[in-house]
Structure 1
Amino acid sequence: MASGHPTTPDGRYFVVKGQLWRCSNPALDEVTRSALVAQLMAARRAVRAANAAQDPAALRVARAAVQEAKVALGERGAPWWSDGSPDFNRKRVMNTPYAQWWQALQA
């Protein structure tokens, strides 16, 4: 489970409130992954600071930094798997091929 949330059997997604969220690319080495997570956390702090300061320009820059880190981690952008399977990121789990797995997990 990713952060205490159920992870799909193929390890591509974790589920929060019935919605699929793409997991980080498991092929990233630990040093790279840690650096990207640190970059993501710094960008999220910058978003919070920009919101608090009501600074739209800083907010745009901070959100772009969050996007960049998430793409580098494999959580957004092109899927990190190469088998041609579609991406169900941010989809309701019940509207995907994972629905049967999810129902069994809920039982």
Structure 2
Amino acid sequence: MSEPPKTPDGRYIVVDGTLWRATRPDLEPEREKELVRDLMDARRAIGQAEYGTDVTAHRRRVDEAKRALGERGPVWWNDGAPDFNRHKVENTPYAEWWAERKDQV
């Protein structure tokens, strides 16, 4: 599976025309792998939970991992730029970049 496109500033990936905050670039590779492993383990636990089971603890683990990765919570950049997480790319300052990129693919 190929990696999703990343905005020129590296802050977001684009999935189905929607911006999703990218992982913090300052994470050490081993720490990032550990957090992704934790995230996937927690998601698997949610998927394998029996119907009617309280999955709150697993969802909390997902949230903690995503926050540590920088994909949720406060933005990881410090230049004051707004957060466009979960916005349609064509409704953001990345619209022109996206339109040009889509024409090339």
Same fold (TM over 0.5): yes
Unaligned segments of structure 2, at least 5 residues: none
The code of the aligned residue for 2:21 comes to R
CA–CA distance in structure 1, aligned partners of residues 52 and 43 of structure 2 = 15
Distance 1:68 1:79 in 2: 15
Q: Does 1:85 align with 2:84?
A: no
Tell me the alpha carbon deviations over residues 51-97 of structure 1, each in whole angstroms, 9 at most, x when there is no partner.
xx11341x111111101100000011111111110011111001100
State how far apart, in whole Å, the 2-side matches of 1:101 and 1:55 are.
Answer: 45
Which of the residues 45, 62, 69 maps onto 1:66?
62
After superposition, what is the alpha-carbon deviation per residue over 1:18-57, rounded to whole angstroms, capped at 9, x for unaligned?
000111001011121111111111111111012xx11341
- Structure 1 consecutive aligned stretches of length 4 or more whose deviation exceeds 4 Å: none
Count of residues in correspondence between the two structures: 102
2:72 to 73, 76, 81: 76
1:55 matched to 2:48? The reply is no
Please, which runs of 5 or more residues in structure 1 have no aligned partner? none
TM-score, normalised to structure 2, is 0.92
CA RMSD of aligned residues (A): 1.0
Greater per-residue helix proportion? 1
Is it true that 1:15 corresponds to 2:14 in the alignment? Answer: yes
Report the TM-score when normalising by structure 1: 0.90
Secondary structure at 1:44 match in 2:
helix
User: Are positions 1:44 and 2:40 aligned together?
Assistant: no
Identity of aligned residues (%): 52
